Amino acid sequence: MITADRMAAVDENAAALGIPRKQLMESSGNAVARVVRRVADPGAAVALVCGRGNNGGDAFVAARFLDDYDVTVHLLGRPESIGTDIARENWATLTAADYDTRVVHDSRAFELGDPDVVVDAMLGTGATGALRQPERHVAAAINEAPATVVAVDVPSGVDADTGEVAGVAVAADHVVTFHDAKPGLDDDEVTVADIGIPEAAELFTGPGDRRLLSRPSDAHKGAFGEILVVGGGPYTGAPALAAQAAMRAGADLVRVACPRAVAREVQGFEEGLIVRPFDGERLTGGNLGHVGRLAADHDAVVFGPGLGDHEATLAAVRDFLDDYDGRAVIDADALAVVPEVDTEATLLCTPHQGELRGMGGPRADDWRDRVDAVADFAAELDHTLLVKGAYDVVSDGDRSRVNRTGNPGMTVGGTGDVLAGAAGALLATQAPVDAGALAAYANGLAGDRIVDRQGYGLLASDLLPELPPSLWGGVDE
């Protein structure tokens, strides 16, 4: 089952893999024609009723695969109003090749005739809200006709994200839907057509995944999360990098909780950092109260960068997780305590493969085996894992993603802190798997863009200014 939004992301990822949408439309149209062949013999009268989006475009293509049928193509609206280049090109082919095309300017002028089969290609996954005119009037006409109705992708009037009907919808005898089942469709009537989208477009992160991030225009301050980075002690650069990465990944506000002994040094990395120091040289049971109170006031916490592995620190992390029920990214030394705690918190753990084994996790050399092994271990922990490597594997035990951006130049120190910070910011608004996958994608893409430009020798801090374009566009792939 796939929602309209996720389908759009997969479609964009397929395009990035070299399969343009027009090619998918060709496969979709072919699949529609195959279903028509199943329900009626050659020579039958087929009315293709087409909207002005790509759903209509699929039926323009289908017409070319039905030359031995008596085909009529109805376009609802003017040809100039066809909304996409690929649908417009396929319409132009029909007129150039002298198919029986009819332009419906006015719903009252619509005449369906007496077809044996109606193909409903008015609206698909791009539809919003109840049917407007002329589609509403035409849907009623289709429902009254004694023809077999084949709907393209979803019956027009059915919301492809919820499966709900607002007002009138086409009553279809068969639905030919693409790539995966859509919400609200009755299994008995549905043909799921393989249109040649490779599994990689779903499994691997790609530019389409960034669709999750579209900032609503009415966003108010606070809608993208306040993040607390808990780190520092033996190391000071790590929490500063994580905090800056969280800011670059769109967090509204980022605060750093670190030992007072190193607060000035952490602050020195970036003027804009808000530092909330706690007493002492490192996190311990003694200053945990301060951290716990701060954490409760934030949407997500990034735990670990530069904390060190002192016994008292790890005990404090354990105590923190025992009580915490919010969202947290767990990185570096703090990872070791995760398997030992029984916490209500929602954790996104970011180990590299060595740290994963330190957590009692699996070893798998081949990335395909690793996907299954990481999924099993995530299910066992009941948390989400982002296992870093040449192929990053992200899984919550149910959904798994693999990220391939990034390069060997990124083995330099600090890139993991940038990743953890970005993941923390995204965790405030996204499901943990999506936060992990997007953070890995953007962090790796940032590194790829730098290496493309200047070669190796990158610093972790170089990644920071590249995070926003990697997450929000301006990406030339």
Ligand X SMILES: NC(=O)C1=CN([C@@H]2O[C@H](COP(=O)(O)OP(=O)(O)OC[C@H]3O[C@@H](n4cnc5c(N)ncnc54)[C@H](O)[C@@H]3O)[C@@H](O)[C@H]2O)[C@@H](O)CC1
In 25-69, the DSSP E strands lie at 45-50
Q: Which of residues 138-177 bind K ion (CB under 5 A)?
A: 151-152, 156
Cβ contact 364:370 at 8 Å:
yes
Cβ-based burial of 420 (10 A; exposed 0-12, middle 13-18, buried ≥19): buried
232: DSSP letter: -
Give the residue, chosen from 19, 47, 49, 54, that forms a contact with ligand X under the rule CB under 6 A.
54
Residue 106 labelled as part of a binding site: no
SS3 (DSSP) at 458: coil
CB nearer K ion, residue 153 or residue 355: 153
CA–CA dist 33, 29 (Å, integer): 6
Stretch that binds ligand X, among 118-126, 266-274, 372-380, 428-436 (CB under 6 A): 118-126
179 assigned binding-site residue: no
Cis peptide leading into 469, omega within 30 of 0? no
Helix (H) or strand (E) holding 75: strand 70-76
Nearer to ligand X (CB atom), residue 123 or residue 247: 123
x/- mask, ligand X, residues 164-203, rule CB under 6 A, reads --------------x----------------x--------
Does residue 244 belong to the site contacting K ion (CB under 5 A)? no
Q: Answer with the entry of ligand X, K ion, none that 317 interacts with (C-beta below 5 to 8 A by kind).
A: none
| Residue where the block lists tokens 């299994």 | 187
d(C-alpha 419, C-alpha 50), whole Å: 46
Give the x-and-dash track for 218-257 against ligand X (CB under 6 A).
----------------------------------------
Number of residues in contact with ligand X under rule CB under 6 A? 31
Q: How far is the CB of 178 from K ion (least distance, A)?
A: 11
- Rounded to 10 degrees, the C-alpha dihedral 29/32/37/40 comes to -130
- Rounded Cα distance between 69 and 87, Å, is 22
Near ligand X in 66-105, by CB under 6 A: 83-84
CA distances 331 to 80, 120, 179, 302, 409, Å, are: 54, 51, 37, 8, 21
Task: Please tell me the total number of residues recorded for the chain in this structure.
Answer: 477
131 part of the interface to ligand X, by CB under 6 A:
yes
Please give the residue ranges that form the binding site for ligand X (CB under 6 A). Answer: 7-8, 11, 24-25, 28, 51-58, 83-84, 123-132, 135, 152-153, 178, 195
Q: Which residues are annotated as a binding site for AMP?
A: 416
Q: Which residues are annotated as a binding site?
A: 54-58, 120, 124-130, 153, 156, 238, 306, 352, 416-417
Please give the residue ranges that form the binding site for K ion (CB under 5 A). Answer: 120, 151-152, 156
